[in-house]
Structure 1
Amino acid sequence: TGCEPAPPEEPADVSEALPLPFAQRGAVWTEAAPAPVRQRRQLPEWSLGGDLAHTSVPRLLNAYYEARHHGELKLRQGTVLKVVYFEAGRVVYAASNLAPERFGRFCLRKGALTEAQLAEAAGYAREHSLRTGDALLKRGLLSPKQRRQLLEEQVKDILWSTFAWTEGGYGFSPMRPQRADLVPLSLFPGDLILEGVTRTETLVALRQRMAPGRRLFPTADPPYGLHELKLAGPQAMLLAFADGTKTVEDLLALTDLSEREALATLRGLELSGVLEERQQTPNRRQRISFGL
């Protein structure tokens, strides 16, 4: 039947003599332990608006996820404007005023459309007052599955392009997207940050940010549970090694990951608030565990 067999019954005089929980082992073994519930935190005041010189987009993502917040984040740098919407702290939509980042041009860049197909869809959209994505579906140029996948990639690219912003402004307001035709997305910020660093940061930049002498250790109260993050085996092992007693140079010597993969993982975990830097050096008598 696929069910786990019940444990054998003990003689009555034995089970009655045993202290709990063994006297009722059947009930103990078959009852699932309740999953821990993360408490929703109050949205910090600094995350409602300010200058990106004093924070970063990944840090904002962490704050909105911890607060499980709904709303609209506007990011502006000069004439460039990008908007990200959240539901329960997860990213559900993003838009940009840059023409290459709009959906039709994005599909063209990804090789999902030809110039002729995009022109056909654009003409059909104007004629029938449709959005580009809807026109692509109507003309049979994209399937619903392809459209959703491309939308996810578009949202990620728009968001990742802001990770390196160190100037510009941001503002957050509890507004919902006004569009009723949005494809329902739900992107987990922790994975967005980890993947974004891996996809966008160069090895040169990673070496500058993750200097050999830096020490990283687990944050006491991280925004994400470790079970929520999609870490491959070597990445999880690298996280286990990052206990504050080892330098980045030590961690690179221990891991099976390439230098770029290891530095990107450490950088992503730091930006997601799972790791933080330890300023003090360990005592000479402190034993450094290499997990062996």
Structure 2
Amino acid sequence: MAAPTILLVDDNQELLTLLARLVESEGWTPVTVTRGRAAIDRLAPVPPAAAVVDVLLPDMMGYDVAHALRNAKVPFVFMTGVFKGGRAATDASAQHGAAGYFEKPFDARKLMDALRALLPPPSDTPAPMRIPPRAGATPPPVRRAPAVPEPDFDVEVAVENDEPVAAMELTGRVVVTEDGKGPAVLRGEAVKAAPVVPPPRPRAPVPTPRPAATPVPDLSRTEGRLEDNLPHLVTAFHLAQQTGALTLQKGKVKKTLFFDAGRPCFAISNLVTDRFGTFLVRVGKLSSAQLEQVRAEAERSRRRSGEIMVELGLLQETERLYYLAQQVKSIAYSVFAWEEGAYRLHFTDRAAHEAVRIELPPASLISRGVKKLYRPERLFRLLQPEDRLIPSAQPAYGLHEVELDRWEAELLPRVDGTRTLAELVHLAHRPAHAVYAFLYGLVALQILDRA
């Protein structure tokens, strides 16, 4: 029996990609579209088995798509970031025939469960008779195929930098969870990691046969190109409240962000400069000689370098946790500087195996990542002086989730579509790239949109 087809309709391409991978993991076939008209056209000649439809689409309301789905006898559920509350959900069922109503952010597992309930039994054979559980009994769990191990987390073999690494400034506050204990707030001095310039490569005097170069990443195994999509990928995990990981690759460099119910909580990297000991040298906590001492002892005793640093008196235990959290933050922020590469989604809970996890609110990560790592020329490419910005009709985050400087809070009420970006820069009395970074951060959060 062919796998059932699930039609997914939303103008958020990154959320569509994430939902499509989840649909595939259930053994179904996803069909993704970003416009209502394209969704209606997909109903003939063979309609899908079920559909997920966003209420607010660029070319029509999702209610119009729902009308076509009902005529084609296709069961469906709505999702929305705008029309919220019990009345909206009731109307979606009573007036439009929706079998479910999910407000963004929503639990993607519950969405998959709702779709499963709309599909016919998985085979042509009669479904086995189900004996109702006795009152108070716990229903048996839904059995799913075991996850296939992903080969994308190979960061144990460190690679050297081919490109310079910019300086990184990190605030002196981290929220850490260790070994499943409750979160603890650790405070220290603000951290500034020094920039790294890769050593020049020696030029061979005479051409000689050399081993094959590092292969180009196999993009056929990835979801797509990275470009400027990182904020939208983080937001996709947030909107679906999804646990999993996002692996980013540029050349031979690979970094992975881990998510727990939509919140970034850990990051790993295969770069030498991202290793814990090297990071401590970059922030001035260890000397190069001390790091070599720690490495020699770690190689001899096969123990973790952080444990050895505490034993040698180079770090206190609280300092170890503090700087480990700052190292993770630096890896998470660093990928915002990437303008090329590829990305891949995973839905295994790898973060659960980490002894230490940190809290990185996604809105804060995106806003600060843009401000810290987007170069002025990149910002001037993404926004134009003549652009006019307005509040988004379907924001992915609340404004209360973003920390604003005083001048930003004073400028924001004037961002109402009546002024160009050039005029806003003049009103802000700040450097143009700082104003662009603030405003594009809100565009990336889908709090602001182009008029």
Quickly name the TM-score band, shorter chain normalised.
0.7 to 0.9
> Which runs of structure 2 are paired with 1:59-70 in the superposition (5 Å)?
59-70=232-243
Q: Which position in structure 1 is the counterpart of 2:284?
A: 111
Render the CA deviation track for 1:213-249: whole Å, top value 9, x for unaligned: 0111111222211111111222122222211221101
Mapped to 1, the partners of 2:316 and 2:304 lie a distance apart of 15
CA–CA distance in structure 1, aligned partners of residues 351 and 325 of structure 2: 19
What's the TM-score, normalizing by structure 1?
A: 0.73
Report the equivalent of 1:198.
Answer: 371
Larger deviation, residues 76-85 vs 249-258: 249-258
State the AA in 2 paired with 1:40.
Answer: P
Cα deviation 1:153-188 (Å, max 9, x = unaligned): 322332333224343322212212267453220111
Pick from 98, 105, 115 the counterpart of residue 40 of structure 1.
Answer: 105
- Separation of aligned partners in 1, 2:374 and 2:346: 29
Counterparts in 2 of 1:78 and 1:107: CA distance versus 1, 3 Å: same
- Counterpart-to-counterpart distance in 1, 2:316 and 2:413: 42
**1-structure distance, mates of 2:281, 2:350:** 26
Query: Deviation above 4 Å: which 4+ runs of structure 1?
Result: 178-181
Provide the residue aligned with 1:82 in structure 2.
Answer: 255
Which gives a bigger RCO, structure 1 or 2 (Cα 8 Å, sep 6+)?
1
2:419 equivalent to 1:246: yes
Identity %: 34
Q: AA paired with 2:264? A: V
Equivalent residue for 1:126?
299
Structure 1 alignment gaps of length 5 or more: 1-37, 279-292
Alignment counterpart, residue 325 of structure 2, candidates 144, 148, 152: 152
Change over 3 Å in CA distance of 1:136–1:180 after alignment to 2: farther
SS for the counterpart of 1:167 is coil
Q: Tell me, yes or no, if structure 1 residue 230 matches structure 2 residue 403.
A: yes
The correspondence for 2:246, drawn from 46, 59, 73, is 73
Q: For residues 329 and 417 of structure 2, what CA distance do their matches in structure 1 show?
A: 31
Tell me the residue number matched to 1:7: none
SS for the counterpart of 1:161 is helix
Query: 1:30 is matched with which residue?
Result: none
- Superposed counterparts of 1:15-26, under 5 Å: none
| 1:77–1:263 Cα change, 3 Å | same
Superposed displacement of residue 42, structure 1: 5.9
CA distance in 1, matches of 2:425, 2:228: 28
Q: For residues 91 and 53 of structure 1, do their structure 2 counterparts lie closer, same or farther at Cα, with a shift above 3 Å needed? A: closer
Separation in structure 2 between the aligned mates of residue 149 and residue 80 of structure 1, nearest angstrom: 25
Structure 2 residue aligned with 1:289: none
Matched ranges for 1:42-61 at <5 A: 50-53=223-226, 56-61=229-234
Q: State the shift of 1:269 in Å.
A: 1.2
**CA positional deviation for 1:105:** 0.8
Could you list the per-position Cα deviations for residues 12-34 of structure 1 after superposition, in whole angstroms to 9, with x for gaps in the alignment? xxxxxxxxxxxxxxxxxxxxxxx
Q: CA deviation at 1:59?
A: 0.9
Equivalent residue letter for 1:157: S
In 1, distance between residues paired with 2:341 and 2:422?
Answer: 34
CA drift of 1:88 comes to 2.0
1:60-87 deviation digits (Å, cap 9, x = unpaired):
1111112222112111122211111111
Match of 1:174 in 2: 347
Counterpart amino acid of 2:276?
F
Aligned partners of 2:222 and 2:343 also within 8 Å: yes
Q: Is the 8 A contact 1:70 1:87 kept in 2?
A: yes
- Which segments of 5 or more consecutive residues in structure 2 lack a partner in the other structure? 1-102, 112-220
CA change 1:159–1:234 in 2 (3 A) is same
User: Which residue of 246, 271, 277 corresponds with 1:98?
Assistant: 271
Quote the Cα distance in structure 2 between the aligned partners of 1:205 and 1:53: 14
By percentage of residues, which structure has more strand?
Answer: 2
Residue 211 in structure 1 maps to residue 380 in structure 2: no
- Which residue is equivalent to 1:277? 450
Deviations along 1:262-290, one digit per CA (max 9) or x if unpaired, are 12101211122211212xxxxxxxxxxxx
User: Is the contact made by 1:62 and 1:273 (CA closer than 8 Å) also made in structure 2?
Assistant: no
Contact kept? 1:93, 1:155, Cα under 8 Å = yes
